[in-house]
Structure 1
């Protein structure tokens, strides 16, 4: 079973703490290019040093800014690989799936189904509330965005999945010897990781329901399917298609997307609806396709 692949007497929980510190350190190292460029811009060009998240998000040209924001995840990926292979002495595939190799059909199916949903729902919102969206398409900047986002956004989302649904979920299972605590804990930590996002400041803490709910969805996918392939596809589609389709002045990703949301954001049904309606429907689709069974044991049972 996937969650039990990290269970062995040598995998003490302090190793997961040390490994997490190493991954965070690698991520900080990846922030050096942004810091160097910021110092260059402020010292030699006289630009004001950004002191808020909003100022930071608008400090560089959007494509350069996106590139610099995503580079730390490349370093973090190296950090995760080092921790798994040399600190825990596990095969890297063991924190991804219980299958002998990655099931790319699962990844692409999940990516496809969520991409279609995201595109249709976005176009529907543009049709229903045309005044809330502005056509933002610029061929050359958008083409550059497609290259940057297609290369780096899947790395960003994969790193988050490897950390939360892979590394930490197995780590908490090692410590607590059950499945429900790792599922809930990693979902909450995943949600809280987004607490500093500008969307939270703009829309209020209620949006944390969406972030934690999304973490719970991804965790359930991983435990029920005995691997994170479906979670990898969903997460990549969610962030990549979102970055290409819609941006706003208050979102975490400032991009040359096709549309720009110019409305004043209000947290409402669009926050709650995915968690209580769309996500259960998605789990039902996956469950039927992949013939999931034993939900209670796989989500709350003991780890031996």
Structure 2
């Protein structure tokens, strides 16, 4: 059995783009997404600059306060607007067609989301019971709970935008042009990993985090191709980021909405690398749990 034959459900997502499969259309569309997002973020930046200080805008880039991170996450909606425009103009397809059948997508999203939460809940009750040092309190419980609805909404905007670009527009566009799954699975995953290369924050761990993100992107691409919607990938990505950004944030960046901070920086080689291996194992368990959900 060929690799491509393992993904019959993927055709429901790819078919709307087969009438306009040219690679130049895909590349031009990606340029449109980048240009629109840059332009809207520039407008946002200049608007905020009129009412805030430059120091606050630095905090915005780092996501180091609740309001800053909420705005930063919500700004990913500009990417979603860009994807919708590019898909309409370049492939003559709707944004909804990139997501998949709404009813099926929602069922898969809910099922995979619940499975992911169950995985993390299980991890919380299993040893080890600490991270080698005490966690640092970041937000008080009342503040964290009060912000939680907005935090979840902003986080959903962020992960949905990333999935629409990498497992939606890019993966489906490549699949409409190339039959080999290694192309349309591998290229978006590689680019997703490259987008998470942050040597200024992660130091010597930057390459390993990039490789982790590539692996995550590949597993999300597999889920999307098996499910025929973006529901499972969005759900797994959402649950993963809830833990990483809202529960146990990194003191290095993007911790404005976190309840607790981890006791080490992303650049800490001795402390971070063993936990990266744990993250890899957790990622595989999340993927397997989602696979079980979509097989039902």
Which residue of structure 2 lines up, in the alignment, with residue 26 of structure 1?
36
Give me the whole-angstrom Cα distance separating, in 2, the residues matched to 1:202 and 1:148.
34
Does structure 1 conserve the Cα–Cα contact (< 8 Å) formed by 2:17 and 2:93? no
Q: 1:220-268: per-residue Cα shift (whole Å, max 9, x none)?
A: 11112222211011111111343221223203x1224221212354332
Picking from 213, 218, 221, the partner of 1:219 is: 221
Matches of 1:281 and 1:249, distance apart in 2: 26
Instruction: Determine which structure has the larger helix proportion and give its number.
Output: 2
Asked if 1:37 is matched to 2:42, the reply is no
> What SS class does the counterpart of residue 261 from structure 2 fall into?
strand
1:93 aligns with 2:93: no
Q: What's the counterpart of residue 4 of structure 1?
A: 14
Aligned residues: 281
Counterparts in 2 of 1:15 and 1:92: CA distance versus 1, 3 Å:
same
Q: Is the 8 A contact 1:118 1:242 kept in 2?
A: no
C-alpha displacement of 1:95: 1.3
Distance between the aligned counterparts of 1:126 and 1:132, measured in 2? 13
Q: Which runs of 5+ in 1 are unaligned?
A: 293-304
Residue 72 (1) aligns with residue 75 (2): yes
Is 1:15 matched up with 2:25?
yes
Moved over 4 A (4+): 47-50, 122-126
Change (3 A) 1:4 1:75: closer
Distance verdict in 2 for CA 1:131–1:288, change over 3 Å:
closer
Q: Is the 8 A contact 1:161 1:232 kept in 2?
A: yes
What is the distance in 2 between the residues matched to 1:66 and 1:283? 27
Structure 2: tracts of 5 or more residues without a match? 1-10
Q: Secondary structure at the match of 1:131?
A: coil
**TM-score under structure 2 length normalisation:** 0.81
Retained in 2: the 8 A contact 1:169–1:186? yes
Change (3 A) 1:199 1:117: farther
Give the Cα separation in 2 of the matches to 1:260 and 1:118.
17
8 Å CA contact 1:108–1:233 kept in 2: the answer is yes
Measure, in 2, the Cα distance between the counterparts of 1:181 and 1:149: 35
- Provide the secondary structure at the position in 2 that maps to 1:116: helix
Asked if residue 165 in structure 1 is aligned to residue 167 in structure 2, the reply is yes
1:119 deviates by 4.5
Between the aligned partners of 2:145 and 2:83, the Cα distance in structure 1 is 31
Taking the TM superposition and a 5 Å limit, the aligned residue runs for 1:242-261 are 242-251=244-253, 253-261=254-262
TM-score normalised by length of structure 1: 0.79
Asked if the contact 2:138–2:259 (Cα under 8 Å) also holds between the matched residues in 1, the reply is yes
Match of 1:300 in 2: none
Deviations 1:64-111 (A, max 9, x none): 2112212321222122112223432113332122x4744312101211
Cα distance between partner residues in 2 of 1:258 and 1:125: 21
3-state SS, counterpart of residue 198 of structure 2: coil
Contact 2:119/2:286 (8 A) holds in 1: no
CA RMSD of aligned residues (A): 3.0
Q: Is the 8 A contact 2:251 2:264 kept in 1?
A: no
SS in 2 for 1:11: coil
Q: Aligned equivalents of 1:184 and 1:205: distance in 2? A: 17
